[in-house]
Amino acid sequence: PRDEQHRAPTQLVLVLAEGIEAVEAAGQVVRTRLLVLGLAALVAVGVLTAWILARQLRPLRALTAALSRIDDRHLAIRLPVAGQPAELAAPVRTLNDLLERLDASFAREREFTANVGHELRTPLAGLRTLLEVSARAPRPDDLGAALAIVVQMCHVVENLLMLARVDAGQLEVLRGRVGIRALVDDCWQPHAAAAARRGLALRNLIPDDAIAITDRDKLRVVIGN
């Protein structure tokens, strides 16, 4: 304050005040807008995240659907590798390799079952015929012939069981020096009589010094087959 009359100085106390209602109203507006924008941003982020996840998981769902169609009768189905994300390409290739090995294993099992039926059908039919004939008119040689067929069937069963153990990795291989020519002659002896009746002969052209380092008994099965 200014004193125009130049009177003695006087100590004055000046108090100024202003209401803050407008400031509070503006702050409330700002808070409301921030809350609305935050909620909108959260909704947008949630929707975008769900869309991205759905898009990224689409190959996985397709892979799951393809896997659900595979069973023991449809092992030839292979999973698609093209179009898979980089993270799934390697596992898909590994699964395809596994399916290929399973398909081959089931094929070997079916082939083995067919071989068992084929190997046993002939001696069983011969034994049945021999027993039926012997039941009508017994002959002295019938018992010996039946025993020979039973022995043949035992050998077939033993060979099939051994092959099954070999396939399962449960059979020990005892390696040694084996003379191939002598082994072939030895394996031929059980079949020589039947071959002679058919007019067949074996010429063993294997050199005398042909030696193999292998399991003699297992090789005998291979040559016999």
**Site of tokens 């059908």:** 121
Give me the count of residues in the chain. Answer: 225
For residues 153 and 146, give the distance between their C-alpha atoms in angstroms, rounded to a whole number. Answer: 11
Q: pLDDT at position 209, please?
A: 92
- Tell me how far apart the 2 most distant CA atoms of the chain are, in Å: 166
Q: pLDDT at position 205, please?
A: 94
* 140 or 106: which leads in pLDDT: 106
Helix (H) or strand (E) holding 177: strand 176-179
Q: Is 204 left (phi over 0), alpha (psi -120 to 50) or beta?
A: beta
Is the pTM higher than 0.85? The answer reads: no
Give the tens place of pLDDT for each residue, 149-189. Answer: 787 788 777 777 777 777 767 677 789 999 999 999 998 98
Gap between the terminal Cα atoms of the chain: 129
State yes or no: pLDDT of 116 exceeds 70.
yes
Q: pLDDT at position 90, please?
A: 80
Across 29-38, 45-54, 90-99, 130-139, least confident range: 130-139
Q: pLDDT at position 104, please?
A: 83
Across 38-52, 79-93, 105-119, 208-222, least confident range: 79-93
Give the tens place of pLDDT for each residue, 50-95. Answer: 888 777 777 777 777 777 777 777 677 777 777 677 777 787 788 8
State yes or no: pLDDT of 211 exceeds 90.
yes
Q: pLDDT at position 78, please?
A: 76
Q: pLDDT at position 9, please?
A: 67
Round the average pLDDT of the chain to a whole number and report it. 81
